[in-house]
Structure 1
Amino acid sequence: MQFAQEINRDVLCITTLPEMFNRSVFKFGDRRCQWFQTDYSRPEETASLSYSDVYMKVKDISAGLMSLGVKPQDRVSIMAHTCPQWLWSDFGILSTGAITVTIYPSFSVNEMKYIVNDSGSRFIFVRDEEGVQKVEQGFKDMPTLEKAIVMNDNVKLPDSDQFIYLSELMEMGKKYAANHPYAYEKSCDQIKPWDMATIVYTSGTTGNPKGAVHTHHNVMNAMVIDALRFVQSGFNIDEKDVILSFLPLSHTYERQCGQMQTIWTGGTIAYAEQPATVMRDIQIFNPTWFLSVPRIFERIYVAMRDAASKTPESKAGFEKALEIGLKVVDYQTDEEGFVDMSFEHNMSDGLPEDLLKQYEWADTNVFSKVRALLGKNYKFSISASAGLPARLCKIFMAMGVRIFEGYGLTETMNAINFSVARAILPGSMGPEHFFHEVKLAEDGEIIVRGGNVFQGYFNNPEATAEAFDDEGFFHTGDIGTIVHNSKLGLDYYKIIDRKKSIMVLDTGKNVPRSKVEGRFSVAHYIEEVCAVADERKFVTAIIVPKFDHIINTLAEKGIHFDESQMVQMEGITVKVGDDFVNHPEVKKLIDMDVAEANKGLESYETIKKYHISNRAFSPELDEVTPTMKVKTRNVLKNFADEIEALYK
């Protein structure tokens, strides 16, 4: 509990992010801070940087920005995929007293221009050729932007002094520091807790992004809250831990809960190449923990299931083991629906002899082998951004995999609710965090106020006024319900759906979109579902199949499809031809998944008809957010004709 004692000191002593970073450098100097692949074509080749190494890079970037005239509370943007340089740039910006503005690298040129102009950013960090091209294309329409700083020296720059390499900026910083001794230290010392630290633009599922303003106090408050919840839940993280980082740092989830929390505790940040390579990169870095989102956890489960089901015999063995495991989860579930997943408790504890023998067989022959896919040092994961479906949560429990859930928004710097390990309620986000108030409004909306809640939307007083009520509570837009845990005396929150996502049939019946779509989280053959019901007689859906899985499954039966009609991205099929979507065997597989999903729904909630899409929902068509949430409104617009055909 040493870290818990240090947290109390940090609450009183550390008030800004540069202060936190500098403290960690002083305390953990020679320990490994960042660990990364040096050549993605040979992913097993890695290198690392110590805390002292990272400090020197941050210091050079900070001084380089000062040499360009960056002043306290100036805005500097970062638009890059998750990489070590993102963190250097972030703390380099923050240590000048400036404000880090985050832009998803998947955003379009127009979205980038909007954020740069709305924030008034003077500089922007980008990583790759795509980022350079976007900035070059939009430069003339961004009057406040002075330069783009490119993280990768191998990217060819336009013939313009408006683009420089990060390495050049760092050399400028070395020269500036030589002529301005202690400039870094003086700059860090002048930063106040209530200074703006970051503007995080929400990707949103409707309208232009809104910039949520967080102060240093907001972020440090959220970090203390998370650390205390970690200690309370019994999975303290420290300098021996390794986190695998792969979610976008443009979002507060990976940036604060993952990287900043790791920096504070002296751990190692290992960088996956990209989300699609997570299972491979886990075997390289053997992390102790990582953050993810339900969509990726679904893929991890599918990878584990497929690895254990290579033959008809092994597939039958996996299904038998999972059936036993789910029986064990039911046995371990108390009368209020809670399961002890603490590190002091094993799923085999207290089982009757017969069930114990079955579970020991399942664990030895199946679960231990699929758990190995998460690496030899794996301890736990955290799921957030959307609700982890209860059935998927139970499946991971059955296999002995600990996944804890958290709930928060960009506007709350993540920390609203978090699981308590000794009492997990599948389908719930856990009880409220420390140091703030959470409650349900009269209409069931979750509202919150506290030190981690944002200051408002940048340049948008109207949206800010709409977000808060007269008592200072921020309205999350999520409809929730409460389940009380009498043993702990805590209220657990369940998310029913976004307030704007409750579908209403023409009969007046309410259908939660997430309830319908969530039933497909462990589907065998369906990748994505977008449910349709508003002002309609019944529920229908646009369905994106698991193209590759179906192609491989039917190939075993001698059924093949026209490869010339297929499109792949990063080795994954994202588009197929009409011969695929119209094939009766494909429809038969989709029918099986739909029928299984409908079993858990009320009759009026069940999917009566569906359209099989020949392509995946696309970020390029603005159908998916960078955090992998479906933009329902855009999907409904893009598939309007197909939807109308379902109701004829």
Structure 2
Amino acid sequence: MAKDRSMINQVTLAEMFNDSVVRYGDLRCQWWKPTPDTLASLTYAQSGRIVKELACGLMSMGLKKQDRAAIMSATCPQWMWADFSILMSAGITVTIYPTLSIKEMVFIVNDSGSKFLYVRDEVNLEKALEAWDEMPTLEKVIVMRDGFVSSTENVLSIEDVKALGVKYMMQHPDAYYDRWSSVRLPDRASIVYTSGTTGQQKGAVHTHLSMISANALDLRLIPPASTDDIWLSFLPIAHTYERQCGHFMALQCGATIAYAQSTSTIVADIMTFNPTVFMAVPRIYERIFMTLREMTSADPQRAAIFEEALKVGLEVTEARADENGFVDMSEGVDFTAGLDPELKEKYLKYDELVFSKVRSFLGQNYRFAFSAAGGLPADLCKIFMAMGIRIIEGYGLTETCNTINLNHLHKILPGSVGPVTVGVEGRIAEDGEWLVRGDNIVREYWNNPEATAEAFTEDGFFKTGDIVEMLADGYIKIVDRKKGIIVLDTGKNVPAAKVENLFSLSKWVDQVLAVGDDKKYIGALVVPGFDAFVAYFKQKEIPFDESALEYVGEGAERVCIKVGDDFIQIPELQELVKKDIDEANSQLEEHEQIKEYVLISRKFTETADEVTPTLKLKRRVILSNFKDEAAKLFK
């Protein structure tokens, strides 16, 4: 049967949203948990009405075409309302991560010239109030929390804005339709500030054309999506990955968007919503695997069965791969077709004992998930394949509105991000940098003509900043960021990601930052797996200073982020960490191996500005925060 492409079209985001509200009006659009024990949902018609009231509220307060309005909020249903209230008003949505500091918030509001700011809670409201005098263009802050009551004229609740919108609609009945229908494809739609891993943030400007073109690229390639699908959203919508892949695509297909409570409750939220599709980053897949392993390995006997099952599953994955390593993971494919009878029998046994139970943790409706914003380690990809779990790895950047390369489900190559997508051109520069050109790519950085000029070649190819390697059939492998290549004083190059990714499945090593520019060898700052060691020490009755432990989160979300100095000095910890580092070194070339390392007693965190919202390490910040520890590596 031919794939239904009727929802793929090139229209503005405003027209796409209006079409979906009309076409799917009676179907569920948004689904979430207002409290841990309750569920709520809205149809497309209901979500559309909220957006219409908010858009008219913004217009009543003076938002004009191409004015900027910002959103500073964690992922939640209200984020989508705010976003489309701006887009349907012909405005430009400016995204701000809710974890950013006051200084960074002020920079983005001022650089973009935002007139309005949506916030989710009092934490970010306080940031805005504290710095209000430093943001001359800011006129109003809108708080999206249910039940919020404002005590100041410049701060409104979302209900206040909706009420203004209803009144404005009565006075100007055609204004909403006139405004959104005035939007053209070349009009700017959003300014998304890069995460700033290496320096000052830059505002990547996306148009309605670039963002809807990104939708078209993906919808042509992925397995058919429909109104029956449920897309689970938990990554930051402030990032283009979740916003375009997880929201815009779902809206264009008439699917349900379910909202997780947080990234720490993913497994529980999957049980609640039974999603068919979700977006995640490699670090999340590592957490999912660790959680699944713990759930199915409650005692030594079951742990041994799990490890044996993985061994057999990996044998099956290797047996199913063709001569270039491609594996068919199409929906409905028979994983045992063509297998040796003995291997087939083993696989079916472990599929019943282990893999079927693992798959059940992803819900009864699971179809596939996407991986991007960092390389998915080939071994981790193969493990999920072995368990019959489909993950489609792709590659893109904020500036490309995501997909540039994407694996095909019938032809997955572990360790690769796939071939360049139809509609995008790609070529490799002499220094190995991946250069791309297409309608989904930004044309400018906001207020930064110098950065814009530096970002493109003379013939219009965007410089991604990533070093790649060409594999079979046009598939590419991301080696590392150009700035992530460590150059030793011998002149030899070491991709930091190659070293760091070897610990993705480690139980005892949580985070690794490889360093060594202009040095004789590679050193590393190593964060042990605190939670794993706490459990291990208690089981073995090894004493440590529990009063020095620091946690974030509650209940199942509780994670240890800091330990005492005594903790990392415990011989058993040092021995298990060394064992994992030795194992990683055995897979590296001599000059790539970690020769010295320092154990760190605190996790690298987003709160300390050491990790991006997509969980990538900010090398420059970490090395600044831990400069004394880094200096010890090369004494």
**TM-score, reference length from structure 2:** 0.98
Is 1:153 the counterpart of 2:153? The answer is: no
Report the Cα offset of residue 554 of structure 1: 2.2
Contact 2:250 2:256 in 1 (8 A): yes
Is 1:540 the counterpart of 2:532? The answer is: no
Which of 85, 106, 130 aligns to 1:113? It is 106
Look up the match of 2:594.
Answer: 607
User: Which one-letter code corresponds to 2:597 in the other structure?
Assistant: Y
Look up the match of 1:296.
Answer: 284
Look up the match of 2:367.
Answer: 379
CA RMSD of aligned residues (A): 1.1
Identity of aligned residues (%): 49
Look up the match of 1:197.
Answer: 189
Contact 2:426 2:437 in 1 (8 A): yes
Distance in structure 2 (CA, Å) of the matches to 1:387 and 1:346: 27
Report the Cα offset of residue 392 of structure 1: 0.6
Distance in structure 1 (CA, Å) of the matches to 2:605 and 2:20: 40
Look up the match of 2:159.
Answer: 167
Distance in structure 2 (CA, Å) of the matches to 1:579 and 1:436: 54
Which of 13, 17, 42 aligns to 2:13? It is 17
Is 1:449 the counterpart of 2:437? The answer is: yes
SS in 2 for 1:164: strand
Runs (5+) with no aligned partner, structure 1: 486-490
Look up the match of 1:239.
Answer: 227
Deviations 1:184-223 (A, max 9, x none): 1111111111110111111120222100011111111111
Deviations 1:155-208 (A, max 9, x none): 464x42111101100011000001101211111111111110111111120222
Runs (5+) with no aligned partner, structure 2: none
Contact 1:223 1:257 in 2 (8 A): yes
Contact 1:7 1:224 in 2 (8 A): no
Look up the match of 2:26.
Answer: 30
Distance in structure 1 (CA, Å) of the matches to 2:306 and 2:488: 40
Number of residue pairs aligned between Structure 1 and Structure 2: 631
Look up the match of 1:216.
Answer: 208
Look up the match of 2:622.
Answer: 635
Deviations 1:247-279 (A, max 9, x none): 001000000011110000000000000101111
Which of 374, 377, 394 aligns to 1:389? It is 377
Look up the match of 1:594.
Answer: 581
Which of 322, 327, 330 aligns to 2:310? It is 322
Distance in structure 2 (CA, Å) of the matches to 1:357 and 1:129: 58
Which of 113, 137, 156 aligns to 1:144? It is 137
Report the Cα offset of residue 5 of structure 1: 3.3
User: Which one-letter code corresponds to 1:134 in the other structure?
Assistant: K
Contact 1:407 1:415 in 2 (8 A): yes
User: Which one-letter code corresponds to 2:208 in the other structure?
Assistant: H
Contact 2:64 2:89 in 1 (8 A): yes
Contact 1:129 1:156 in 2 (8 A): no
Deviations 1:578-630 (A, max 9, x none): 11111101111111211221121111111122111111102232211111110
Look up the match of 1:567.
Answer: 550
Contact 1:121 1:144 in 2 (8 A): yes
SS in 1 for 2:468: strand
Distance in structure 2 (CA, Å) of the matches to 1:599 and 1:330: 22
Distance in structure 1 (CA, Å) of the matches to 2:472 and 2:564: 50
Deviations 1:116-165 (A, max 9, x none): 000000000000111111111111100000010000134464x4211110
**TM-score, reference length from structure 1:** 0.96
Is 1:6 the counterpart of 2:6? The answer is: yes
Which of 119, 124, 137 aligns to 1:131? It is 124
Matches within 5 A, 1:344-355: 344-355=332-343
User: Which one-letter code corresponds to 2:35 in the other structure?
Assistant: D
Distance in structure 1 (CA, Å) of the matches to 2:397 and 2:630: 31
Which of 437, 456, 468 aligns to 1:468? It is 456
Is 1:428 the counterpart of 2:416? The answer is: yes
Distance in structure 1 (CA, Å) of the matches to 2:4 and 2:444: 31
Is 1:583 the counterpart of 2:583? The answer is: no
Is 1:509 the counterpart of 2:496? The answer is: no
Look up the match of 1:488.
Answer: none
SS in 1 for 2:388: coil
Distance in structure 2 (CA, Å) of the matches to 1:122 and 1:638: 35
Report the Cα offset of residue 539 of structure 1: 1.1
Which of 164, 168, 171 aligns to 1:176? It is 168
Which of 322, 328, 347 aligns to 1:359? It is 347
Distance in structure 2 (CA, Å) of the matches to 1:597 and 1:251: 32
SS in 1 for 2:361: helix
User: Which one-letter code corresponds to 1:19 in the other structure?
Assistant: E
Is 1:54 the counterpart of 2:47? The answer is: yes
Look up the match of 2:93.
Answer: 100
Contact 1:551 1:560 in 2 (8 A): no
Contact 1:129 1:155 in 2 (8 A): no
